[in-house]
Amino acid sequence: MATSDQQIAKQVIEGVGGEENIKSIAHCATRLRIVLHDKEKINQETIENTDKVKGAFYNSGQYQVIFGTGTVNKIYNAVESLGIEGQSTSDVKQEAGKQGNMFQRAIRTFGDVFVPIIPVLVATGLFMGLRGVLMNEQILSWIGMAPDDISQNFILFTQVLTDTAFAFLPALVAWSAFKVFGGSPVLGIVLGLMLVNPSLPNAYAVGDGSANPILFFGLIPVVGYQGSVLPAFFVGWVGAKFERFLRKRIPDAIDLIVTPFLTLLVMITLGLFVIGPVFHGLETIILVGTKWVLDLPFGIAGLLIGFFQQIIVVTGVHHIFNFMEIQLLEEFKYNEFNPIISAAMTAQGAATVAVGLKTRQKKLKSLALPSAFSAFLGITEPAIFGVNLRYFKPFVCGLIGGAAGGFLASLLHLKASGMAITVLPGILLFIEDIGQLPLYILVLVVSFVVGFVLTWFFGYSDKMSEDIQKAKF
């Protein structure tokens, strides 16, 4: 007999230490997110043995119980029906953001700013890929055309699609930063647009030598910040704090006029003369360092990143890769992290498939195979926390498979046209270069084979599972 949603909700509440231990609760697309007073009261075994639970883990200050899309909404409603008041996901994140060490909190905040703008960058990457296909000489020859036959107006239209997001990236970043740090998002948009105002020398033109920076006071070089991230991030952070400072001190009668005026005046002055030059320099150093690592010979970068990337996911600070990928796309129009990360995800999914096919335990099999499918769509948390980390050896086998695939991706110099979509959906980022597409698929196959074979022969057996269960008692 199937367990009702309300029974599952009661079991989850009991497993996290009862209603009195729950500080706040919310849900996202796949997980119930619970902030607890005392995480030591969690009964992991109770949660894992609850019907419909696909995995559970404590990360980023939240206890996250994976139910999957659709199911999580029903369980959340059942929890609320038991008298536990829910909160928005952003409120829960704010509560959770107070937990963890300083580095974890900083990266989590960084991620909160960049995650909302990633869909736009994903779309831009896909537009770049499609534009590359449409302009590809070989593909055009199949229909009896050449690049010169394409209308200039059509080319202009495709440039609007592919160039806008990165040309006005500071506006997106400043908007999101103002929103995250409690300022007025519209002020963030305007400040970001000021950083790329056409009156300023274009950053790309300055970079290729066709324009020169404006020198203020004979010392401070000022340029536009097209494609920059850190200047806009810190302008947004400081600006939001400054706006809130002003609103507490300026009388309500003149707040509407004075606060936006002072915020924009002070922040664009700081942005152009202090924050911009300092953090653009830092951004350049980070980009040079990132490129140096990726250009290491003999596939070393892919080997290391492919192995450690999913460990970084476990720590919850993997959003740092978003910043690096944005930098690569802005500067070089390609992303070398993407195929390596896809290899790491594929290998974890492969390890989970091996566990699912090898086990005779019905619950584990029903958990492993859907979790593996999620991994192949670019979401590895259910596979990692629900299966691989629980038995540990499959996780290690997945890391080795990721290292093998990442090593091959580096040797083959694979370059994606965008970011944030990986593994099977990531194929769309390689259609621009017909020569790279089969190589990308080869990387995924190698990652899968290594992760699967190692797990099948060395990473899992039902006896291992039984030994782990006995060790808990």
Catalytic residues: 28
What is the pairing mode between strands 55-59 and 62-66?
antiparallel
Q: Which two tokens stand for residue 120?
A: 């736009």
Long-range contacts: 95-99, Cβ < 8 Å, 24+?
Answer: 95/23, 95/24, 95/35, 95/61, 96/33, 96/35, 96/60, 96/61, 96/62, 97/61, 98/61, 99/60, 99/61
- Cα 163 to Cα 124, 137, 155, 170, 330, distances in angstroms: 8, 21, 12, 13, 10
Beta bridge partners of 33: 26, 64
CB 270 within 8 A of CB 238: yes
Distance of CA 8 to the CA centre of its chain: 30
CB 22 within 8 A of CB 13: yes
Cβ neighbours of residue 268 under 8 Å, at least 6 residues apart? 191, 194, 195
Distance of CA 394 to the CA centre of its chain: 24
d(CA 340, CA 417): 14
Radius of gyration of the chain (CA): 25
